[in-house]
Structure 1
Amino acid sequence: MMGHQKTVQDQLFYSFHLDDHVPQSHLLRAIDRVLDFSDLPSQLAGHYSHTGRPSVPPELMIRILIIGYCYGIRSERRLCEEVHLNLAYRWFCRIGLEDPVPEHSTFSKNRHGRFRESGIFRWLFESVVQRCMDAGLVQGEGFAVDASLIAANANAQQSVPGDELGEAWKGVSANRSRAVREYLEALDEAAPEESAPKRISLTDPQSRWIAMRGNPAIFAYSTNYLVDIAKGIILDVEATPAYRPAEVESTRRMIERVERQHALKPQRLIGDTAYGAAPMLAWLVEKKGIAPHVPVWDKSERNDGTFSRKDFVWEAELDAYRCPAGHPLRSDWRSFRKPRTRVTQEETIIYRSSQSHCQDCSSKPQCCPNTPIRKIARSVHETARDVARQLASTQEYQRSYRERKKVEILFAHLKRILRLDRLRLRGLSGATDEFTLAATAQNLRRLAKFVAQSAPTPGEGVPI
């Protein structure tokens, strides 16, 4: 017999507890165990008034933001709707069934105001990193660094060539957005670039116009991760324009910040060839004492059949190279009244052979067939480059090469699971907020999984 749903209310009062309807194995339960907001009021004390009506509790807004970044809910309007409907979200935010959910506009006002001014997102990230360290998820022996492109919230049609920015700027100067104001303020402090960008966005000028192989060009930012390779914990994150020198420079700041904040300095740093430039290697080896498990950026190899630089022997005691025919290449064939450093703008020293040696040499067709003499540019940081080359032949380096995938896994998780493949906020400060919150969510998920495994609770486990 077919049954029918009753439409008459059987009970007038119900006994309902949110805690009874959230599974013990739910991810938010595990995250709630590792979160600590006891210091939050002191961090924001100077940014709230002591008079007037009570504001929305900042802990509530941060909890809602954590839900959004943990579950890839990109829209703040939709995020508030999901918190209104989802019982687990209400439980995590300490909102009862009859309590209202904050308006989505509240997030924008606080994100661009007191939250950004107080650096509360950085404080939250650092506190989660410390919790990961206390739980034993960070060893500090090896760090890996890498960057990934995230599309900016900028339309390619609203852009101009870099050398035409002055004329185009007149049309938007009367009503400048926050991202434009930040760009103009940063111009006074930024170091001059070698050349103007190919294109500049009029809505988000701090983003960079870049094209990856096989993909169309876009305006983008780079999220830079410094990761402890033991458990894949993100120790630091920094947003930069999608510009390779800026990404490499951010590595120095992240390593120094982790050393200052958490007293951690790795024995080895793992990275790809982009981090193998001579100044970066010299900074790692000579200043920080970190073994660079990084391929050396080297373009000295020749493919035309002539001798490459590796065919010349370096003689440190004579400060000279020795060619395959046994003749020296020196940087000081001539003497000057005023001593010269002989260091070029590219931080190299040019070593030259003698024309008298080359003109009668039988190896000249293989050495310098089109020039009277042979020249070799040696970096002033060549000692650090040699250290990196020697490390590349060790078994530890091969292990590091395999471990570098842990950073790439985090980027794949960021874009596919957390759905952060395009920014919503504009400007470098907006990208910083989004990347910091996303990295915090990734660390929280790993920490929650570890805590759930260490202290088993009824259920099937925590989904990560």
Structure 2
Amino acid sequence: MNVMMGQQGGGQDKLFYSFNLDDHVPRTHLLRGIDRYFDLDGLREHLAPHYSHTGRPSIDPELMIRMLIVGYCFGIRSERRLCEEVHLNLAYRWFCRLGLEDAVPDHSTFSKNRHGRFRDSEALRHVFESVLRRCMSEGLVEGEGFAVDASVVKADANRARGVPGTEVIDWRQGDGPSRAVQEYLSALEEANPAPSDDVESATPPKRISLTDPAARYTAAPGGPAFFAYSTNYLIDLHAGIIVDVEATPAHRTQKVESAKTMIDRVEQRFAIKPKRLVGDTAYGTGAMLGWMVQEKGIDPHVPVWQRPPRNDGTFPNSDFHWIERSDEYRCPAGHVLRKERRPFKAQRSHITKAGTIIYRSSQTDCASCSMKDQCCPNTPMRKIARSVHEEAREEARAIANTPAYKRSRRERKKVEMLFAHLKRILKLDRLRLRGPSGAHDEFLLAATAQNLRRMAKWLVPVSQQAATAPT
């Protein structure tokens, strides 16, 4: 018999226990680093107007926010499962300020608060911005350069539960419209309060989801189409901190407009405006470049969007020389292209709906030109459409030849890495909540979790070294 073999005692249970929850959370646990920089002191004051002064005490909003942060930091997508994990996991209990005997809220509490006071008070936006302010105070946001991009996330909508966009839908069928449908209909009424016959209607989408009609039907490269939203990130390039996030349907136009919204909001709330903005070709339209250069004074580190070159063998527009002082083009043969050939009594802007000015050559010059077959073989004259934002486009082209632009293209990968982290680590490759408000809530919480994780990983090692250094 081996007398050195240990054996667990089976004696009587102890009457008293001495248990310190803090001792059972590893010093290197991610939540310790997050807790060091996560402050919810202003949340109660922010939510106070949305709570009644009478009745039973409600669930602590700080507890619910801390539980949601745990869920999004560790990819726990179900609130029912989140409650189970917080109940069992000591580190989660410690972060949520729960003792061993404290009860965990029911999962239905999150839904009631999310659809009520959290959205009415924009509490999740308040939490995101309070974390961002802490990132700024810790020196993780410089404000010199921002990057913007969008990533498509699947909506909680079955692609089989969709109808053609031109089909008339009676949303009152069954038990009545759901919350996501009501939000969609309210947005339509707000955008078109009094439609008239002389107003050109917007192009209907290809398909509309019956469960989440605000989601956009889009096709992924190499895969089937699906209903989706876009999460739009505006990040600071110093440490990759997300300075703003916006939820939009998965559409190119709304993606660009959301960039303006985020830049304006950051400037208004934090008094920060970048010197340069880095983005892909979607942000290189003439209107967007004009807004950056002429209205905001931001250097566009963005590829200029332009039409595909001619493939018929004729002269491209780049072969025509622009003369600014006389407001005209010169063709390769030396003939003039102007926006008007005779004076008008009333001055005209000549700006088209597409935001361009058309410059035309003389039909007489073209008819006798030896280069007509290389210039305009199928039309009596040559036309060039010049964007009203061409100066901004030229500035973007000039920046594209600088070493700073090459550095910006490398730094733009930081926002793409955040999207990869969002989908692979935080498991947000498909939304769980429906409607624009649901997408807005999920994207805000995920961005908050990413900023907290980034802050913990960047700052905690330095803080720990300072705490343990000899004095």
Provide the TM-score with structure 2 as the length reference: 0.94
Structure 1 residue aligned with 2:132: 129
Residue 188 of structure 1 aligns to a residue in which SS?
helix
CA distance in 1, matches of 2:134, 2:95: 19
Q: Deviations over 1:17-70 (max 9, x none)?
A: 101100111111111111111111110101111111111100000000000000
CA distance in 1, matches of 2:37, 2:169: 53
Q: Does 1:81 align with 2:89?
A: no
Q: 1:82 to 1:193 in 2, by over 3 A?
A: farther
Q: Does 1:320 align with 2:328?
A: yes
Residue 362 of structure 1 aligns to a residue in which SS?
coil
Percent identity, please: 65
How far residue 10 of structure 1 moved from its aligned partner, in angstroms, is 5.5
Structure 1 residue aligned with 2:176: 175
Structure 2 residue aligned with 1:16: 19
CA distance in 2, matches of 1:458, 1:288: 41
Structure 1 residue aligned with 2:195: none
Aligned partner of 1:326: which letter? G
Structure 2 residue aligned with 1:462: none
Spell out the pairing of 1:368-387 with structure 2 (5 A cutoff). 368-387=376-395
Structure 2 residue aligned with 1:289: 297
Structure 2 residue aligned with 1:144: 147
Which of 447, 457, 462 is the equivalent residue of 1:449?
457
The runs of 5 or more residues in structure 1 that have no matched partner are: 460-464
Structure 2 residue aligned with 1:47: 50
Q: Does 1:404 align with 2:404?
A: no
How far residue 415 of structure 1 moved from its aligned partner, in angstroms, is 0.3
Residue 163 of structure 1 aligns to a residue in which SS?
coil
How far residue 188 of structure 1 moved from its aligned partner, in angstroms, is 2.1
Which of 243, 252, 259 is the equivalent residue of 2:260?
252
Aligned partner of 2:448: which letter? T
CA distance in 1, matches of 2:458, 2:53: 40
Q: 1:215 to 1:458 in 2, by over 3 A?
A: farther
Q: Is the 8 A contact 1:72 1:418 kept in 2?
A: yes
CA distance in 1, matches of 2:147, 2:455: 19
Residue 317 of structure 1 aligns to a residue in which SS?
coil
Q: Deviations over 1:128-186 (max 9, x none)?
A: 1110000000111000000000000111122111110x2443535x5111111111110
Aligned partner of 2:118: which letter? F
Number of residue pairs aligned between Structure 1 and Structure 2: 458
Aligned partner of 2:126: which letter? W
How far residue 454 of structure 1 moved from its aligned partner, in angstroms, is 2.2
Structure 1 residue aligned with 2:120: 117
CA distance in 2, matches of 1:110, 1:57: 11
Which of 240, 256, 274 is the equivalent residue of 1:266?
274
CA distance in 2, matches of 1:193, 1:253: 24
Q: Does 1:200 align with 2:208?
A: yes
Structure 1 residue aligned with 2:32: 29
Residue 416 of structure 2 aligns to a residue in which SS?
helix
CA distance in 2, matches of 1:374, 1:135: 59
Aligned partner of 1:171: which letter? Q
Aligned partner of 1:430: which letter? G
Q: 1:342 to 1:458 in 2, by over 3 A?
A: closer
Aligned partner of 1:62: which letter? I
CA distance in 2, matches of 1:75, 1:9: 40
CA distance in 2, matches of 1:275, 1:158: 33
Aligned partner of 1:199: which letter? R
Q: Does 1:104 align with 2:104?
A: no
CA distance in 2, matches of 1:392, 1:59: 47
Q: Is the 8 A contact 1:312 1:324 kept in 2?
A: yes
Residue 68 of structure 1 aligns to a residue in which SS?
helix
Q: Deviations over 1:334-376 (max 9, x none)?
A: 3333322211111111111111111121211111111111110
Residue 16 of structure 2 aligns to a residue in which SS?
coil
Structure 2 residue aligned with 1:218: 226
Structure 2 residue aligned with 1:299: 307
Structure 2 residue aligned with 1:61: 64
